[in-house]
Amino acid sequence: MMVRQIRSWVLRLAGLFNNERRDRELAEELEAHLQMHIDDNLRSGMTREEARRDAHIKLGSVDGTKEKVRDQRGFPFILNLIRNFRHSLRMMRRSPAFTAVAVITLALGIGATTAIFSVVYATLFESLPYPKAEQLVMVWSQSSQGRRPVSSGDYLEWKRRSRSFQHLEAWGGATFNVATADRPEQVQAALMTSDFFRMTGMPMWLGRDFLPEEGEVGKDRVVIMTHRLWSQHFGADQGIIGRQIRMNGESYTVIGVTPPGMRDRQHSQLMLPLAFKPEQVSHQARSFLVMGRLKDGVSLEQANAEMQTIARQLAEEFPQTNANWAASVEPLQNNFIPEKTIKNLWLLLGAVGFLLLIACVNIANLLLARATTRHREVAIRAALGATRAELFAQFLIESLVLAALGGALGVFLGRVIIDGILAILPLQMLPSEADVRISIPVLLVTLLATTFAGLLFGCAPAWQSSRLGLNEVLKQGGRTGSGGEGGGLRRALVVVEFALALTLLAGGGLALRSFWNLTSLDLGVNTRNVLTFSLPIPQSRFKETERISPYYRQLLERVESVPGVEVATVTTGLPLRGTGLRRPFRISGMPPADPGGQQSAGFQMVTPGYFETFGIRLIKGRTFTEHDTADGARVAMINETLANQYFSGTDPLTQRIVVNQPIPGAAQGGTEVECQIVGVFHNTRGGDGLRGSDSPVIYVPFWQSPWPRASIAVRSAGDPELITRNLAAAVNSVDPDTPLAGVRTMDQMLSETLSFDRFGTVLYGSFAVLALLLAAIGIYGVMAFGVAQRTQEFGIRMALGAGGGEILRLVLREGVSLAVLGLLFGLGGAYLVGRAMQSNLYGVSALDLPAFIVVGVVLLATALVACYFPARRASRVDPMVALRAE
Amino acid sequence: MSDTSDVWRGTLAIMVLKTLEVMGALHGYGIARRIEQTSGDLLSINYGTLYPALLKLEQEGFVACEWGHSENNRKAKYYKLTRAGRKRLEKEEREWEQTISILARFLLPEEKLS
């Protein structure tokens, strides 16, 4: 039976084609039938006329039969579909303006959704671009404070004792000064144990990966570079493999280049083998990251259990360093994405979903309005025998065709939006594996969203039209009614739309206000015309502390003599970035404020020009001078917070402070130095995207406490970037080997500091603007249509004495009351959005009334403007024309 | 006889198959006349019913057709039963008898059954 069914379908499918011949044959067959009948009738004695008549009556409608045979021949369902599809295209061609608005509206919604979803998909769902990626795990040291990097001693013990892993590899960070074609360049590098690339299974673009023996001390002078570094600084030279390059003054052989893509998105652009010298192995310094590949068939739980056992053994064997330290094995996927980023991604997806919903509501509204003008068409089709299901299907197909067009344009728009997002995406916000693009799964979701959208906005007019009272419509003749029940549905949709729009606008408003709060913060510094850079001086450079000060004095002199430089400074920390060091201190002659804990403060060494360079305001006393040298009395300056916290009753300038100062070149320990407080300065902002709270800070003169690694900052008369080259030349005249690292103006640094906030603000802001636009189109469409339909009513009102002003107010009142109703519903949504966004906001509460009032007013004003044009048209109706027209 | 009734459509197919079994190859008009005569003119067949049914039987492979000439030398399409059609008819007959005998137990007075 199955076979017969299939055979029958195949024949019927074939029946969709070559219909002309079949029609001709059918006509012949029916003609023969008729003739035979007539022949028989003649034989039974009828006249020719009677015979014909009888045969025709008996056999019924020839055309009806043909129609039925045709249905049986092909699939009436498919034929209908094709017919409806053609009809839809015809309808679209006939109203290009409507089609354009609907398609663009939908394309905006679909495009934004596709773009944000592609970010979410690439970040959270797409499997990592490694073979058997599910076997890759991160192994962390665990203390009571959470996960931590791993010490070299622990890593080597783990690798020796564990049985769960095919590979267990470690890597750490380093910085190298690389001699490139034009000038020395500072590059971040990763030092990785030699099997790292074999573990991940990442192939090389050029050359080869590390050999196992290159992980031994003495054989490790080889380097792999990323595609990005290779093309930016080595001219994408194919012959680079085997070449020697100079890094930190020593010679390394280039053995490989990684493929473009993932590695290029990481900070470290060089990869070198990590070789542990026996004297470097310690259980103390936890600075390495450890990744492993599980053996086939070993589960995460088994690996975790084994690592717990090993961690317990180590805790017993090395109680000094490893007591209370455990270990954990975690999947690599999503291991480096902070909870907050994941939450933010979902929030963005939610916001963009709202946008799509608004777009759908909008199109539903437009379609509903247009369907009203097609009541007569529908009624006539119904009268000619179209069933309700057929009418429903026709309207649905029209929406799906519209949706398909919008979806196609939306995918295109999505690509544009993705490019925009990637341009403002803060570096390192997403894991480097995340390759944001329109992939097949993204396309599938877009297709799904499009279909869903088409069904969603198609159902309303389809449902409405399929249950039209046939008789009423036809009886009405040409008379258009006053809206009818469809008008109610349309108004409800406008209310929904405004509620959704307010929710999105509130999100945008909150993000904007938070960003405004951040940018209008008093940073305590003047960021204009200040350029900073650091000097990555190798650890081994200054064996004797005495050589540090002369080196920097000479540098500073040369830098200050560069034309355009007004003032310059050497400092160990930078405003916005933080002090860099944190040291314990106490106040002479006073017990520690908190006897149990140790009080500490941010600690920074600066030369006298620091305050003038950054425009930091002095509150009390004096700044450092050229007399505060190693020979002079020890002095210090403190910030406002420290002064307020510790010297509320006394004058700080009369006090002395004891600071534990670090020893240059030594990893630990320090010397206690007692300093006279000579000045109090205004707080400066730093850290955590400007959200950091004001904490105590101590400055001491750089010349009294020299430090090998420092930054230099200059204030220039004009745009400081113009003199970068001269500054580099000045530095190189003193020290030809050291590059300028991290060259930034303070304005750039400020902009980088705010990049996360800017990203969110731009996205939420654009969604809000789009939502506003769509809501405006929506309410305009409904009001304009309503006015057009009620021309006659307005004519009567005016004929009865209503003035133009009254009509204007009548229409405006209707439109605005819809908007207000929507706003009231939207307030609830806005509050929820505020709650969800709370952790991203600065200085804004979830229920931020000023922001809500502003967006409410903006929405209302938009509604007013959108309603004004139809209202004016209504008020200018000429009663005579309106009444005569019908 | 209602056009759209699936019951009649189903039985019409059986009547067509039986007619072709008895009469051999036959054209559409002949099939219609034969069915009307057999039914004692209780049934009246029109195109709208007959030709879609014939097409369906053809698609299912129960009848085959070819163009031929009638006794009056008119060009006409002749339908004849295929082997599958014959089998189908036998099956239908068996099922029909079974249905009848079951229904009879319900509908006929009990004493007549003995």
CB contact under 8 A, A32 and B77: yes
Q: Is the pLDDT of residue B29 over 50?
A: yes
Q: How far apart are the C-alpha atoms of A866 and A819, rounded to whole Å?
A: 11
Instruction: Give the containing element (helix H, strand E) for A851.
Output: helix A849-875
Rounding to the nearest 10 degrees, give the CA dihedral for residues B83, B86, B88, B90. Answer: -140
Instruction: Please tell me the least confidently modeled range out of A40-44, A317-321, A430-434, A651-655.
Output: A430-434
Q: What is the pLDDT of residue A594?
A: 58
Over range A604-631, report the average pLDDT. Answer: 92
Burial of residue A672 (CB within 10 Å: 0-12, 13-18, 19+) is exposed
Rounding to the nearest 10 degrees, give the CA dihedral for residues A244, A246, A250, A254. Answer: -40
Q: Quote ipTM for the complex.
A: 0.82
**Chain B CB contacts of A30 below 8 Å:** 47, 51
| pLDDT bucket at A383, cuts 50 / 70 / 90 | confident
- Say yes or no: B73 contacts chain A, CB-CB below 8 A: no
- Exposure string over A415-433, b if 16+ CB within 10 A, otherwise e: bebbeebeeebeeebbbbb
Q: What is the pLDDT of residue A592?
A: 61
Which tokens belong to A266? Answer: 């990481």
Q: How far apart are the C-alpha atoms of A440 and A446, rounded to whole Å?
A: 10
- Say yes or no: B37 contacts chain A, CB-CB below 8 A: no
The counts of H helices and E strands in chain A are 27, 23
Q: What is the pLDDT of residue A138?
A: 93
Total domains in chain B come to: 1
| pLDDT bucket at A482, cuts 50 / 70 / 90 | very low
Q: Is the pLDDT of residue A128 over 80?
A: yes
| Cross-chain CB nearest to B27 (options A7, A32, A39) | A32
Q: How far apart are the C-alpha atoms of A686 and A569, rounded to whole Å?
A: 19
| pLDDT bucket at A304, cuts 50 / 70 / 90 | very high
CB contact under 8 A, A8 and B59: yes
CB pairs under 8 A between A and B: 76
**Chain A CB contacts of B33 below 8 Å:** 40
Which tokens belong to A142? Answer: 């665990």
Query: Cα distance from A110 to chain B (closest Cα, Å)?
Result: 45
CB contact under 8 A, B32 and A33: yes
More confident residue, A690 or A410: A410
- Exposure string over A58-95, b if 16+ CB within 10 A, otherwise e: bbbebeebbebbbbbbbeeeeebeeebeeebeebbeee
Instruction: Please tell me the least confidently modeled range out of A2-16, A84-98, A542-556, A845-859.
Output: A2-16
Q: Is the pLDDT of residue A646 over 80?
A: yes
Q: What is the DSSP string of A389-407?
A: HHHHHHHHHHHHHHHHHHH
From residue A576, alpha-carbon distances to A423, A522, A680, A758 in Å are 23, 12, 19, 16
Residue B1 lies in a domain: no
* A497 neighbors A361 (Cβ within 8 angstroms): yes
Instruction: Please tell me the least confidently modeled range out of A45-49, A543-547, A718-722.
Output: A543-547
Task: Please give the mean pLDDT across all residues of chain A.
Answer: 84
| Cross-chain CB nearest to B47 (options A35, A39, A59) | A59
Query: Cα distance from A28 to chain B (closest Cα, Å)?
Result: 8
Q: Is the pLDDT of residue A373 over 80?
A: no
Q: What is the domain-level CATH number for residue B40?
A: 1.10.10.10
Q: Cβ–Cβ contacts within 10 Å for residue A275, how many?
A: 16
**What's A124's DSSP letter?**
I
Q: Report pTM.
A: 0.71
Residue B100 lies in a domain: yes
Helix residue ranges per DSSP H, A318-387 = 319-322, 339-373, 375-383
More confident residue, B5 or A757: A757
CB contact under 8 A, A59 and B28: no
Kind of pairing, strands A270-273 and A222-225?
antiparallel
Q: Is the pLDDT of residue A59 over 90?
A: no
CB contact under 8 A, A29 and B32: no
Supply the range of the domain harboring residue B29. Answer: 6-113
pLDDT tens digits, one per residue of B55-94: 888 888 899 988 888 777 778 889 999 998 999 899 988 9
Which tokens belong to A247? Answer: 């890094």
What are the residues whose beta carbons fall under 8 Å from the beta carbon of A631, sequence distance 6 or more? none
| pLDDT bucket at A76, cuts 50 / 70 / 90 | low
Q: Is the pLDDT of residue A135 over 80?
A: yes
B51 to chain A: nearest residue by CA? A69
| Cross-chain CB nearest to B59 (options A12, A28, A64) | A12
From residue A647, alpha-carbon distances to A584, A639, A659, A699, A873 in Å are 17, 11, 16, 17, 72
A31 to chain B: nearest residue by CA? B76
**Chain B CB contacts of A69 below 8 Å:** 51-52, 55
Per-domain residue ranges of chain A: 2-74, 75-127+339-478, 133-331, 487-523+746-886, 536-739
| pLDDT bucket at A540, cuts 50 / 70 / 90 | low
| Cross-chain CB nearest to A35 (options B47, B60, B74) | B74
Q: Is the pLDDT of residue A567 over 90?
A: yes
pLDDT tens digits, one per residue of A238-253: 889 999 988 877 889 9
| pLDDT bucket at B5, cuts 50 / 70 / 90 | very low
- Say yes or no: B69 contacts chain A, CB-CB below 8 A: no
Instruction: Please tell me the least confidently modeled range out of A491-505, A632-646, A654-668.
Output: A654-668
Instruction: Give the containing element (helix H, strand E) for B67.
Output: strand B63-69
| pLDDT bucket at A281, cuts 50 / 70 / 90 | confident
Q: Which of A21, A5, A95, A696 is nearest to A373 (CA)?
A: A95
Q: How far apart are the C-alpha atoms of A879 and A10, rounded to whole Å?
A: 63
* A247 neighbors A180 (Cβ within 8 angstroms): no
